[in-house]
Amino acid sequence: MKEYHIAVIPGDGIGQEVTPEGVRVLEAVREVTGSFSLNYEYFPWGCDYYLKNGSMMPENGMDILRPFDAIYFGAVGLPDRVPDHVSLHGLLIRIRLEFDQYICLRPGYLLPGVKSPLEGKKSGDIDFVIVRENTEGEYSGAGGRCHPGTPFELALETSVFTKTGVERTIRYAFNLAQSRRKHLICVTKSNAQRHTLTLWDECFERVAREFPDVRTERMLVDAMAARLVLHPESVDVAVASNMFGDILTDVGGAITGSLGLSPSGNINPERTFPSMFEPVHGSAPDIMGQGIADPIAMIWTGAMMLDFLGEKSAAELIVNAIRHVTGEGRFLGRDLGGTASTAQVTDAVIAHIKACS
C-alpha cells in the first residue's frame, strides 16, 4: 500500500480552524478507499512562532520539509501583530521559491447550489483554471530601500522575468489546456510594461507553435478582469504572471460564490521538491475564532493534493461530496448565506463520502 508523508502547516487565523477539517476529510477518504495511507507531521510555524522565536520557521525549516511528499498549508498572516511582508515572505513565499513551486494552479468552478453574484449563472457555467507563475515576476523579492527617513527615501521593487521561468509556465498551461477545452488566454500588460511582458509575449508565441491544436488569445489584464466578470463562461485556461494571477484568482473566488471555496496548489511539476497545497484565501482575521470559516476551500485543496499524489479516485470522491453538499444546500456556511458551522460543513462532506462507500 502506498504511504504518503504530509507536512501539515495550519499557520494563522482561520488556517488553524480549516486545516484540521481538511485532515478529517482526508482521513475519511483514506478509510473508505483503503488503498493508501497518510502519515502527517504537524509544524506550528506562523506568526505566533515568529513572536516567540523571531522567525517564521526554524533555520533548518526547509531541510525539515524537503523529504515530505507534499505540504498541506492553511494560511499565514496576523497583520495586527506581525507585518504582512514579514510573515508572508518568511514562510509561504519562501517555500514557494526555494522549492521551485513555479506553477500556482487555481481552478474557478461554480458549484451546484452556490449563488454567483453574477446574474443568471448556474453550476458549470463558470469552469476555468488560472495558471499563475509563482516564483518570479512582480513577487521576486528583488529590490530595496535607500535613504530611509529622508525626503529622498526610495523604494525599488524589481519585476524579474526569465525566459526559462516564463516558458516553463506557459508550456504547463498549454498542456493543461490540451486536456480541457483547448483554449488558452495569455494575460499580460505588455502595452505598458514594455520590457518584461514583451518578453512574456515572445515566449508565448514560441511555445504556442508546439501546440497547434490549442486555440490562443492574448488579453491585457485589465480587460481580462472585466471579462471574468462579464463572460466567465468564455474562459477555459488563462496563464498570467505572479501578481496578475494573484489578483485574477480573487476575482475567480468572488464570482464563484466565495473565497472560502477556492482551492489552490503550488506545484513543482518535476517533483524535485514537495509541492504545497493551500486555499486561495488568507487567515481571515475578521472571522477567526468564531467557528464559521468555510472549510470547503481547504477540503477541495486536499483533493488537489491527492490528485497530484496520484490518488485520482480518492480526489474525485472528495470533490463529488463537496458538490453534493453544496447542491443539497442543507449545510452551507455563512459565506454562502447558510448557518452551518465549520465543523458541520465538514461533517456533511464526510457523511457523503461514507455514504458512497
Hey, which residues are catalytic here? 139, 189, 222, 246, 250
Residue 113 or 279 with smaller CB distance to Mg ion: 279
The reply on whether position 17 binds ligand NAI by CB under 6 A is no
Q: Which residues bind Mg ion (CB under 5 A)?
A: 246
Selection from Mg ion, ligand NAI, none that 284 binds (CB < 5 to 8 A by kind) is ligand NAI
The reply on whether position 176 binds ligand NAI by CB under 6 A is no
Residue 154 or 229 with smaller CB distance to Mg ion: 229
Amino acid letter, residue 152: F
How is residue 94 written as a grid cell? Answer: 519562501
The reply on whether position 293 binds ligand NAI by CB under 6 A is yes
The reply on whether position 325 binds ligand NAI by CB under 6 A is no
Dist. CA 188–CA 240, nearest whole Å:
7
First to last CA, the chain: 19
Residue 13 or 113 with smaller CB distance to Mg ion: 13
Residue 246 or 278 with smaller CB distance to Mg ion: 246
Binder of ligand NAI out of 29, 38, 71, 76 (CB under 6 A):
76
Q: Pick the stretch among 134-142, 202-210, 231-239, 282-290 that binds ligand NAI (CB under 6 A).
A: 282-290
Q: Which residues in 79-98 contact ligand NAI (CB under 6 A)?
A: 79, 84, 88, 92
- Contact criterion met (CB below 8 Å) for 259 and 253: yes
Phi, psi of 221 (to 5 degrees): -65, -35
- Contact criterion met (CB below 8 Å) for 282 and 264: no
208, exposed or middle or buried, with CB in 10 Å at 0-12, 13-18, 19+? middle
How is residue 115 written as a grid cell? Answer: 449563488
The reply on whether position 278 binds ligand NAI by CB under 6 A is yes
- Contact criterion met (CB below 8 Å) for 145 and 107: no
Residue 200 bridge partners (DSSP):
none
Residue identified by cell 471555496 is: 261
The reply on whether position 22 binds ligand NAI by CB under 6 A is no
Residues that bind ligand NAI (CB under 6 A): 14, 18, 75-77, 79, 84, 88, 92, 259-260, 278, 281-287, 293-294, 297, 335
